């Protein structure tokens, strides 16, 4: 499989849960081979990263990437809605510690407590995460110039929002009613030959 496309997606969700660790191992091997083959800028986005961390193979893969990604010209983005589960994994803790940038959005009280402890959030930062509106959060950065912790508000342009929304009502509204052949079959048949 060639990884020379602008976007390559590996989806293991449809696999039997017993097969996912093997699939993650194969994907990890493929990604590492490609990284060694050609040194060029890349970005690897792992959505629902907590689900990868629940398997030892997946956790080792992400932790290894987090430690060595920059040396291979790779940006690693991990996304998780289950922050406590992510932080309970030793591999997840490695990923969080290695990240130079962390974006934290609205959290419930349980997740905010664990985040506050893990990332040494101040009481004001914890309150910000508890009361954040959609698109609001806290950006933590660590770089050569030092560390910064800033509240942020993320606003998407209408075209960006339409492209990335997963809100069921918005997704359904964008879908066409179906191919013409399907629509015709679903229309009521004319009542022919019905005697009155």
DSSP label at residue 93: H
The set of residues, in sequence order, having a beta carbon less than 8 Å from that of 187 and lying 6+ positions away, is none
Q: Residues of the chain with pLDDT > 70: what percent?
A: 88
Q: Has domain 20-154 been given CATH number 3.40.50.360? A: no
Distance CA 96, CA 87 (A): 8
pLDDT tens sequence across 136-191: 999 999 887 788 999 999 998 988 888 888 888 888 888 776 665 554 444 454 45
**Mean pLDDT, residues 17-34 taken together:** 81
**Mean pLDDT, residues 56-76 taken together:** 87
Q: Enter the pTM of the model.
A: 0.74
Distance CA 194, CA 196 (A): 6
Domain ranges of the chain: 20-154
């Amino acid at each position: 499989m060639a990884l020379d496309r602008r976007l390559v997606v590996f989806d293991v969700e449809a696999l039997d849960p017993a097969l996912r660790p093997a699939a993650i191992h194969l994907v990890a091997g493929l990604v590492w081979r490609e990284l060694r083959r050609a040194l060029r800028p890349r970005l690897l986005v792992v959505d629902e990263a907590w689900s990868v961390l629940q398997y030892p193979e997946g956790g080792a893969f992400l932790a290894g990437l987090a430690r060595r990604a920059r040396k291979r010209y790779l940006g690693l983005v991990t996304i998780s809605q289950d922050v406590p589960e992510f932080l309970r994994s030793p591999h997840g803790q490695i990923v969080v510690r290695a990240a130079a940038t962390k974006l934290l959005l609205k959290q419930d009280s349980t997740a905010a407590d664990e985040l506050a402890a893990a990332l040494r959030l101040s009481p004001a930062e914890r309150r910000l995460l508890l009361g954040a509106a959609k698109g609001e959060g806290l950006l933590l950065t660590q770089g050569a110039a030092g560390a910064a912790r800033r509240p942020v508000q993320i606003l998407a342009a209408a075209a960006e929002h339409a492209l990335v929304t997963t809100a069921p009502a918005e997704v359904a509204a964008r879908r066409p009613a179906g191919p013409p052949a399907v629509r015709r079959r679903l229309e009521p048949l004319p009542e022919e030959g019905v005697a009155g």
